[in-house]
Structures are given as structure tokens and as C-alpha cells.
Structure 1
Amino acid sequence: MTSVGAVTRQIAALEITGNKPTTSSSSSSKTTSASSRSLHTKQPSQNNVSKLLTKFAAPNPYTTKPAQPSSLRNPTYGHSKQPSTSDTTTPATKPARTAQPSVDIGRYDGGLEEENEKRGERVYGEAAEQLALDSSVSRKCPTREWSLHDFDMGRPLGKGKFGRVYMVRTKDPKYILALKTLYKSEIVQNRVEKQIRREIEIQQNLRHPNVLRLYGYFHDEKRIFLMLEFAGKGELYKQLSKHGCFSERRSARYIDQMADALIYLHGKHVIHRDIKPENLLLGINGELKIGDFGWSVHAPGNRRMTLCGTLDYLPPEMVEGKEHNEKVDYWALGVLTYEFLIGNPPFEDRNSVSNTYRRIAKVDLRFPSNVSAEVQDLISRLLQYDPQRRLPLTEVLTHPWIVRHRPQGVVRESMA
């Protein structure tokens, strides 16, 4: 019998471009929030989604960054062709493809059909052209042509602003994805056509184990469908709400992964601009995944003016209406570290939005007495008023608090 390790290595090497679908990334649309969020409250434990998965569902089965460039970064072989032995991202001896057992994807509730009858309208003219999005005609990495007929529909995973998200399985071969629906008419009504296109264009070109993968997309008369990586352990925010806050060990490991992913994004000239727990998901192995690029921007010049994101995570330069660059993500990483450990953002004032703005502008940072000196050092060095003084992400990876909690054997390429 083929070993679990061998099969997962095989799955990791598969590519959904050309004729080969695989698992896909999950992301959710974001809107600007001008109000502070309340403290985390205890909520019922989320359904154990990972029980619905098997080893065949993980698109990135490694928990550490591979030593060689991931095979997901390079379109490889056709539908019937095996990877060549020259592929350095997989073992020289590759297991033969084996029949995959049935995976329970849950019961489909008919929601796509029912909702489509009541919701959304056809769009015409320039809007229709802008939203005729199909990865099979993409210039950079075209995929095979996809439609709803290519999927077995499973249970609903949730609702987004512009539609629903379902757990699905591709029919040939059988891989688990999250299928997200966006209604074109609602996108037009909210005047976010360019934002949606930008989000898709950015995410489809990202290949990092801590960034959720967008594998493909297609559309019909009313809707756009995104084929996203299925995050087996669900939303990180639900975990934070359940526990109130995280331990130093768990927090440090998440921040370690976040810093590595942000270094990758910034290397691609992508500024995320909306880092927060609600935009993070957890893979089947518990690895963190950045799952929302609604406010992200590709900015080779690195200078932007748009006020965007969520109030609690806005840096001083955004609050004061100044130009900003990728260092807004450094600030957000500091806020995220604080919220993981304390349970609420550092500048939150639940009684007054203007007080939150004021505290951000003054960097009015206060720590509870139980926060260790190491943690205070890292957060304080990220939450600097002057963007140029914020701790570089490469130094976040080498910070003593991060290194002390990093799992043995994990090597960050970004540190090289």
C-alpha cells in the first residue's frame, strides 16, 4: 500500500493549470470598517471541518517552506503525463498514481440554484466585459476551461458579501476545493469591479505555503466563480474568539509564518493593506493562510494614498492621510501580535472611534503586566510612528521570541 507521505508528496506536485485540477485557496471579500471591534467572546467550537478531509485534500501538505521552489510555481505536465525525474521539488522516486477513496464533502443544499433565481441580474456593456473573468484565457497561466458541471457540489462553507462559498470536488481527478460565488450585478452596484479584478489578478499569481491559492475562475450570465484552496481547519478568527487569546507559543508561530508570507508578497510588490484575524485561515495541518486580498495592491512604486483596511489596524500615516507604502503591513503585524496575545487590538477604544484614531496617531501603546519583555520588544519595534523605523520583517524572523518558539527543523528561506 502506498504510504501517506508518498501520496501527499504526489498531491503536492499536481497542478491545476492545463488539464489538471487540484485543491484551491479560500478568500473572502473585504470592506472598509470605520468602527472598533468588540473584545473576543466565547463562541461554540466550530465544526471540525478537517474530519471531512483526507490526505488528498491538502494542496500544500508541508508545514515548512520547501527548500526548493515549489512545483506549484511552475505549470508542469498534462492530464496523463507523470512529472519528470528532473523535477527537483519531488523525490526522484515518485509513487504511481493510485485510485483515491471517496471523500465525504457533505450534503449540497441546492443553494446555488435557489439563490440564483432570487438574486442578481445580468449586467451589460462595459461592466459585462470587465466581469467576464475566465482563467482559461488568462495570458500568464491559462487553465483548462471550467464550468459548474465539472464539480460535485458539497456542503455550504459560509456566505460572503457577494455570494456563497461551497465545498466541492472536481470530477476528474477528484480534489477538494472551496468554490466561491460573486454576483456581478452586486459588484457593479457597489462599484468594485476594478477591485475584484485586481484581487483576482494578484491572488492567481501568488505561490506561498502561507498564502491561500486561487486555482482558477470562470463565470456565467450572473456570477463569477472562484476555485479556491480549501482551508481544512477553518477561520482563525473563530479560534481566537473561542479561546479569547492565544498562548505565546501559538502566537509566535503564527507571526513567524505571517512575516515570511509578507516578505514574499512585498518581494512581488504586493501590499496587503488589510492584515487582521478575520482575513486569516488555517490549513489542514494548522498552518496559517492569508486568505483575503480585497484591499491588496500591486505597487511597484510602493507609494499609495488610499485610506483602506480596518480601523483598529490602520497605521498613523493612513490615519493622518499621508502617503503609505508596504510598511503599513509591518504595523499591522505588530497589531496582530498584540491581538493574538491580549485578545483585543492595542489602540481600540470601544466608546469612541475618534479616540481610537487619536491613540493610533500618538502610538498610545500600553501593555498588561503579564506580557513578557521579549514580546513587548517585538511589538514596540513594529508599532513605530515613523514607517522607516519599523522592524524589518527579516529581523522579525530572527527575533529571539520568534526563534525560541519556532518548531525544530523549520528553516526560513527569507532569512538567507
Structure 2
Amino acid sequence: MNTIQYNPNRIVLRIKRQSFDGNGDVDWTVDPFSINYQDVLDAISRVLQTTASAFEYEDDDGDRIIVKSDEELRAMINYYIMSNDSRVVPAMPPMLIIYPKVVKTPRKRNVLGLTVNTKAAPAPSVYGVESPMGKHKSGGNLQAILQSGQLMYLDITPDVQKQIMSELDILFKCDSSYIISFYGAFFIENRIAMCTEYMDGGSLDKYGKIPELVLGKVTASVVKGLVYLWNQKIMHRDVKPSNMLVNTQGQVKLCDFGVSVQLERSIAHTYVGTNAYMAPERIVGSEYGVNSEVWSLGLALLEMALGKFPYPTDNQRELSSMAPPTLPSDRFSPEFVNLAALCTRKSPHDRPAPDDLLHHPFICKHDDNDVSIVAAWLSKMLSHVKNNLPSTEEYPAAAT
């Protein structure tokens, strides 16, 4: 039997339903040293779709102990840790079962018995779902607004369990200013509802041609986001303008990890992602690594700079035999032309490595954490959209 020494830095709380068969119980992995009483109540509210006033746990004698404060929560956790500290357990430590004290029976059930790691997320009662914000490959997207005024992005996903659970695990581990924030997840009628950061400017694919001065700031943020993922041994695997989000504060962040895979090795074989942005080696089914993401980044930059997909076709067979597209040197700075050319080299070994990207002159030139340029550009673009005006480029030409 495989055994492990109990680790008190992570514990599993099992939120118990008010039913005898255990159907719908939800397991929640938490950091016992940072969680507080309100976090637990919020989690119970998400699971049961109702308000909890307190919860209970059982001691060694089977007696129920009620928890109604942070002090009592700490006593519960200390009791659990002391009970298991010296224990060697099979495969996983025992779960700490909590019994919610609620007024009414929950309406929704986690019929499939799925478990998910989440950070503390707001209860359903504190957000309101508005009109659909469009569709993309992972399902219908709804805007959710916290009553406190904070905006979030609520993604009601289709029932593709394995892929969604993988996405949740990746999002839970990400902590970067250039990756969309993940607030939590809960189950509704056998589907997983994901609460992620709401970027009020939407995706960059809808803005057409982006001035180089703005695109320089965008590129710096995207590259830093990708390098963060790569350092975590994660590949996005679907890098394109529609997966780059912007907000009115001028921040740019990567999103949509529906086809991300955490790398156990430095290469991957799986054929996933959006075909038009795939590197040549991916199209023919060869091994690929981080340098394939660099190709996709290059195509995305070309598209945003030119205002259109840089190839005359998006047919993958034709793309693999075509010469890489380039930026016209009379319209763009030498640094930008060089970066795009390096990223779209046919041989993956000739493309820049992550450190080379970070230290490329075009990135260094624009990596100053100044979000005002993107914010001002987005404000103008949103104003043009609101007033049905054509977009105009009101930025100085790039320095040569």
C-alpha cells in the first residue's frame, strides 16, 4: 500500500449535504493557516445555494462541535492537525467533514461527486448575471457584477469534465498580473460555474489594426504572461488575439486555458488549439515545445499590427508550405520588424527562447509598466464603438 506522511499545510474539507447517502458532498482543498470563518460560510453558500449560519464537526467521541467564529474555526483546525500530525495514512489524509447549519434543503446537487481546488469565491447571492457577452469555444459567457462594484467574468462551461477540471487546476496555480485572475468555482446542475476576472475591454481581436506604440505595451504584457506560464511548466497552446484581454485600466492579460496542458516533460504531442495560429511543426504532427507558442505569438502580433490575418489563407496545409509573413519595414520600427521575423522562423530551433524574448530590444523599449497608453487608446476605441465612428490612429509613428 502506498503511504505518505500527513502534510498539515493542505487539508480537505468535505462539505456534507443534509442527506444520508452522501450524494452531492463537495471536497474543498484549503490552506488551514489562511482560511477564515467567512471563507467557509461562502463556500457552503456556493455548494448549497442557500445561506449558512454556522457549521459543525465531530470529535473523536462522535459529538458535534459547532463553529460560529474565527476562534472556533481555529480550534477545529488545531484539533484536526493534532489528531493527524503523527499519522501515516494510505494515499491521502482523512477529510475533515463539516456539517452546515442551514434553514432549507439545497436545491442543487453535485451529482457527479466532482472535487475542485478553489480560492475563496463570493457566494451566488452577491453577484448578478447580466446579458450574454458572446460565445467562444468553451461555451456561453455571462457577465457577473459583484454588489460591491467589483467586476468578474462568469463562464458557464459545457459538461466536458476532464478538460474543465484541468483548466481549474491550472488557473488555481497561476498568480501573475498578466494572467486573468481566477476567483473560484462551484457546481450547478452537473456543470461547473467558473468565476474569473472580468476585463471590460474584451479581447484584442475585435479592435482591428492596433498602433505600434500601443501594441508595444500589449506585447510586453503578453510576453511576460507567457514566460510566467512557461516557467510554471504550462503551455497555453492557443495563443491568439482573442485570448488576449484588455481592461479600461490599461492592463493586458492572457485568458482561456481550455486547451492548456501542464508539461510533465519539455515536449508535447497532442494536437489541440486553433489551427490557423499553429506552428508548422504542430500542423505536421511533429514534437513541439515552447518555441511553438513563440510562433503563435508572432502571428498574433502580425495580425494586430496589420489589422488582418497575415496569411492570405487559414488553410493549415497551405500555411505549412508558405514563406513566413513579415511586417513592412517602411511602416514599423526595425525592432518590431525584427521581433516578428524571429518569432515566425520556420525552424523552431531558430526562434527566440523565453529569456531572449524578455530581453529583445522591442520588449525592453516598451516594458515600463506604463498602462496609460493602452488605457487612453482603449478609451478612444470604446468611444468610437459607442458612437458608431470609424477607428482612427491618433498616435505618433514609431521611432525608426
> Normalised by the shorter chain, which TM-score bucket?
0.5 to 0.7
Pick one of 134, 149, 156 that aligns with 1:181.
156
Separation of aligned partners in 2, 1:255 and 1:391: 15
1:183 and 1:222 in contact (8 A); partners too: no
Partner SS state of residue 196, structure 1: helix
Higher relative contact order (CA 8 A, sep 6+): 1
- 2:141 aligns with 165
Pick one of 324, 349, 355 that aligns with 1:364.
324
- 2:91 aligns with none
Q: Does 1:333 align with 2:310?
A: no
Amino acid at match of 1:220: I
Amino acid at match of 1:333: L
Amino acid at match of 1:179: L
Separation of aligned partners in 2, 1:408 and 1:265: 19
Separation of aligned partners in 1, 2:199 and 2:338: 32
1:312 and 1:348 in contact (8 A); partners too: no
Change (3 A) 1:162 1:396: closer
Q: Does 1:319 align with 2:296?
A: no
Separation of aligned partners in 2, 1:262 and 1:180: 22
Pick one of 98, 116, 120 that aligns with 1:143.
120
- 1:216 aligns with 184
What is the CA-CA distance between 1:254 and the residue it aligns to?
A: 0.8
Pick one of 333, 341, 345 that aligns with 1:384.
345
Q: Does 1:292 align with 2:256?
A: yes
Amino acid at match of 1:207: D
Change (3 A) 1:205 1:408: closer
TM-score with structure 1 setting the length: 0.58
1:3-402 matches, cutoff 5 A: 19=38, 128-129=112-113, 132-134=114-116, 138=117, 142-143=119-120, 148-161=124-137, 163-170=139-146, 175-184=150-159, 187=160, 193-240=161-208, 245-349=209-313, 352-359=315-322, 363-368=323-328, 370-372=330-332, 373-402=334-363
2:152 and 2:198 in contact (8 A); partners too: yes
Amino acid at match of 1:231: M
Give the percent of matched residue pairs that are identical in Structure 1 and Structure 2.
24
Separation of aligned partners in 1, 2:180 and 2:345: 29
- 1:109 aligns with none
What is the CA-CA distance between 1:403 and the residue it aligns to?
A: 2.8
What is the CA-CA distance between 1:17 and the residue it aligns to?
A: 6.8
Structure of larger gyration radius: 2
Amino acid at match of 1:178: Y
- Structure having the larger proportion of residues in strand: 2
1:147 and 1:218 in contact (8 A); partners too: no
Separation of aligned partners in 1, 2:329 and 2:260: 35
What is the CA-CA distance between 1:123 and the residue it aligns to?
A: 9.9
2:329 and 2:337 in contact (8 A); partners too: no
Change (3 A) 1:123 1:151: closer
Moved over 6 A (4+): none
Aligned-residue CA RMSD (Å): 3.2
Unaligned ranges ≥5, structure 1: 1-15, 22-77, 81-121, 188-192, 411-416
Unaligned ranges ≥5, structure 2: 1-33, 41-68, 72-108, 372-400
